[in-house]
Amino acid sequence: MLYQRSSALFDEAQKYIPGGVNSPVRAFKSVGGVPVFMKSAKGAYLTDVDDNVYIDYINSWGPAILGHTHPEVLEAIQKQAESGFSFGTPTELETEIAKLIVEHVPNVDQVRMVSSGTEACMSAIRLARGYTGRDKFIKFEGCYHGHSDSFLIKAGSGAATFGNPSSPGVTAGTAKDTLLARYNDIEQVEDLFTHNDGQIAAVIVEPVAGNMGCVLPENNFLQKLRALCDKHGAVLILDEVMTGFRLAFGGAQELFNVKADLVTYGKVIGGGLPVGAFGGRKEIMNCLAPRGAVYQAGTLSGNPLAMRAGLSTLELIRKDPNFYQNINKTTETLDFEIAKILNEKNIEHRINRKGSMMSIFFHTNSVSNFDEAAMANHSLFNNFFHQLLEKGIYLPPSGFETWFISDAIKDKEIDQTLEVIRQFEYS
């Protein structure tokens, strides 16, 4: 494929945008090469500025669960746009989508809309701190909750030690309140609670991790976190920015039968437009301004275009009784058939999958935490990525990212993807 226009646009972008991109993973630094600039998307396909066409396994990093520019969602957005883009006032749409979430998601009594997943997670931590009167919280290595200062922390020398800033601009004072544990390691969490008795406001976790590749909870990990939070009076926050309405309509709480105190959302609930949300038990949500003292605000929170796109998307999913069965079957087929091809090629690999999320790790070890994900052959992944890209298959440009399958991917797209993978040359 030719990428002349993309290459020229990237050169131009770097003059005016730091690194030429507005989100780092788009720069292809992990896999090498020049990032591809897209100009349109429809159904299962992306088209770049050089008119190359790709089957899309990113789907805007998750939001396009129905595929791109679904006709009913597009019509809903167009109608809403005719009525106005933004008002800075309450709208009926905000209540409609909040009501839909509350009525279909376990343990969510109220919802506050925001404009991004980062904002949702940042606000949930602030709310948990305000509710408990405590400062510290636990997060897990490899889990991503946005770029708020409190989340950009790397591990210290042990589970009971303070973390360190992982980005310039994050202060040591901020880092000392963020405690890190290994995903799926409940003993480390117990140790953190013991060493910080009465100081931990919350535990925040991706119920299925998506930013170290797709990594699943094991050995009732989520249920054990629930029990520890109950024991120590901490708030359990499930970050469902990726998993919410993707793995099940009731999210991870429904899928894993675990109760959260707060849940964060993004991606699917905006139908592809910028959106985030957090919700939970009424007694906690009542601490938010204007009813309570914990302040949170946003000019474009509940933006009517995003609310209309999200509501339309959720209604389409809800009305199809076979939606999750079908999209999960597509992902299962990809998993099985890709594994079959890689086995025939004697390429060591492991595929992690949950619902319509999946990742390929190029080694045979289990992957249940960030350290194990990092042990994979990422150089081989980069080779795999570029060979598939050249033949019209668009994967996440990092071995630490999750594939997001859309409902628009059908047998034709699966067959084409598998044929390209059969041509993969491993040297």
Determine the Cα–Cα distance for residues 280 and 304; give it in Å rounded to an integer.
22
Q: What does the block give as tokens for 252?
A: 């991870």
Residue 47 and residue 389 in contact, taking contact as beta carbons nearer than 8 Å: no
pLDDT digits (tens, 9 = 90+) for 41-94: 999 999 999 999 999 999 999 999 999 999 999 999 999 999 999 999 999 999
Average pLDDT over residues 189-207: 97
Helix-, strand-, coil-residue percentages of the chain, each rounded to 5: 40, 15, 40
> With 80 as the cut, is the pLDDT of residue 156 above it?
no
Residue 240 and residue 204 in contact, taking contact as beta carbons nearer than 8 Å: no
Q: Which CATH number fits domain 71-319: 3.40.630.10, 3.40.120.10, 2.40.170.20, 3.40.640.10?
A: 3.40.640.10
- Tally of CA atoms within 13 A in the half-sphere of 390 that contains its CB: 11
Determine the Cα–Cα distance for residues 342 and 362; give it in Å rounded to an integer.
10
Which amino acid, one-letter code, is at 199?
Answer: Q
Q: What is the secondary structure of 21-33 as a DSSP string? A: SSSGGGG-TTT-S
Determine the Cα–Cα distance for residues 242 and 402; give it in Å rounded to an integer.
10
List active site positions.
Answer: 144, 239, 267
Q: What is the secondary structure of 249-273 as a DSSP string? A: TTHHHHHHT---SEEEEEGGGGTTS
Determine the Cα–Cα distance for residues 87 and 182; give it in Å rounded to an integer.
44
Q: Which CATH number fits domain 4-57+322-422: 3.40.50.1110, 3.60.9.10, 3.30.70.1280, 3.90.1150.10?
A: 3.90.1150.10
Whole-number pLDDT of residue 169: 87
Please return the burial class of 415, using the count of CB atoms within 10 Å of its CB with bins 0-12, 13-18 and 19+. exposed
Q: What does the block give as tokens for 378?
A: 């990422």
Whole-number pLDDT of residue 358: 98
DSSP 209: B
Per-residue pLDDT band at 35 (split at 50, 70, 90): very high
**Where do the DSSP E strands lie in 273-392?**
276-280, 350-354, 357-361
Average pLDDT over residues 357-366: 96
Whole-number pLDDT of residue 152: 87
Whole-number pLDDT of residue 78: 98
> With 50 as the cut, is the pLDDT of residue 351 above it?
yes
Domain boundaries, the chain: 4-57+322-422, 71-319
Percent above pLDDT 90 for the chain? 92
Q: What is the dihedral of CA 214, 217, 219, 222, to 10 degrees?
A: 180
Average pLDDT over residues 237-256: 97
Average pLDDT over residues 114-136: 97
Determine the Cα–Cα distance for residues 121 and 117; give it in Å rounded to an integer.
6
Whole-number pLDDT of residue 155: 55
> What mean pLDDT, rounded, does the chain reach?
95
Average pLDDT over residues 175-179: 91
> With 70 as the cut, is the pLDDT of residue 395 above it?
yes
Q: How many CB atoms lie within 10 A of CB 356?
A: 27
Whole-number pLDDT of residue 158: 42
Average pLDDT over residues 98-104: 97
Whole-number pLDDT of residue 167: 82
Per-residue pLDDT band at 159 (split at 50, 70, 90): very low
Whole-number pLDDT of residue 165: 76
> With 70 as the cut, is the pLDDT of residue 16 above it?
yes
Residue 406 and residue 67 in contact, taking contact as beta carbons nearer than 8 Å: yes
Decide: pTM greater than 0.75.
yes
Q: Which residues contact 89 (CB under 8 A, 6 or more apart)?
A: none
Q: Is 342 helix (H, G, I), strand (E, B) or coil?
A: helix
Whole-number pLDDT of residue 175: 85
Whole-number pLDDT of residue 223: 98
